[in-house]
Amino acid sequence: MLIPISYPLNRRTPLYPGTEPLAITPTKSLEGSDTEERSLITFSSHAGTHIDLPRHFCPGGGSVSGLLAPEAVFEPARCIAVPKTGAEPIRIYDLLPHLDAIRDSRALFIRTGGGRTRESDPGPYAARPPWVHHEVPGFLRMENPALRLFGIDTISIAVPAEPGEGAETHRAFLCGSPHIFLLEDVDLSYGRLLEETWTLRIYPVVFDDLEAVPVVALAEFG
């Protein structure tokens, strides 16, 4: 069974402050037809459910086409619940009750509950999300050297009010060895995600030499 955990990308998609909105511009057909419709679609590489690769913060770091496949598979994947409200940080002590899940995952997701307000209150969802403290990546890498992807149900692992902290946390995930990819703005509302291991399948919307890209992400249950 396949469950989508990525959000559709559209003009109403909440965006991290400073991110360019999706734009759709009607264009004329090259054949000069008056009835054929075409559109030019422009969007940020960090819009909607997207994956960050090392090049985002690491000089000379790998890109989408360099480190992913057109279908990227991570298994086992695990999701843990770390409830947070507003711009609260996720710290090491929040993760200690979940060591078994952390050590038994190649892709780890954290459900803060922040995704509940994505549609109903997109302003605070984008501006004051729960965020990840820079101490977390090193802890995860120490507990599980096989971890390759970290995902979260907030617009970013960073909070706009703390740009320096956000940059440090991104670098700790993406530039450390081994690097840990980031999947942000993920729909983790499906209850079964917390109950068992599953397989994560990621399909980049654009497969090219990019530092990040929106994706279609699916959770597969056996």
Q: What is the pLDDT of residues 31-58, one digit of tens each?
A: 656 678 889 999 999 999 999 999 999 9
Indicate whether 189 pLDDT > 90: yes
Assign 50 to helix, strand or coil.
strand
CA 63, CA 61: separation in Å to the nearest integer? Answer: 7
pTM, entire model: 0.95
CA 6, CA 22: separation in Å to the nearest integer? Answer: 16
Give residue-wise pLDDT tens across range 96-143: 999 999 999 999 999 999 999 999 999 999 999 999 999 999 999 999
Return the pLDDT at 216. Answer: 98
CATH 3.30.360.10 fits 2-220, yes or no: no
Which residue ranges make up each domain of the chain? 2-220
CA 157, CA 140: separation in Å to the nearest integer? Answer: 14
Percent of the chain with pLDDT over 70: 97
Lowest mean pLDDT among 31-35, 187-191, 206-210: 31-35
Return the pLDDT at 37. Answer: 85
Q: Which helix (H) or strand (E) holds 28?
A: none
Return the pLDDT at 33. Answer: 60
**172-190: average pLDDT:** 97
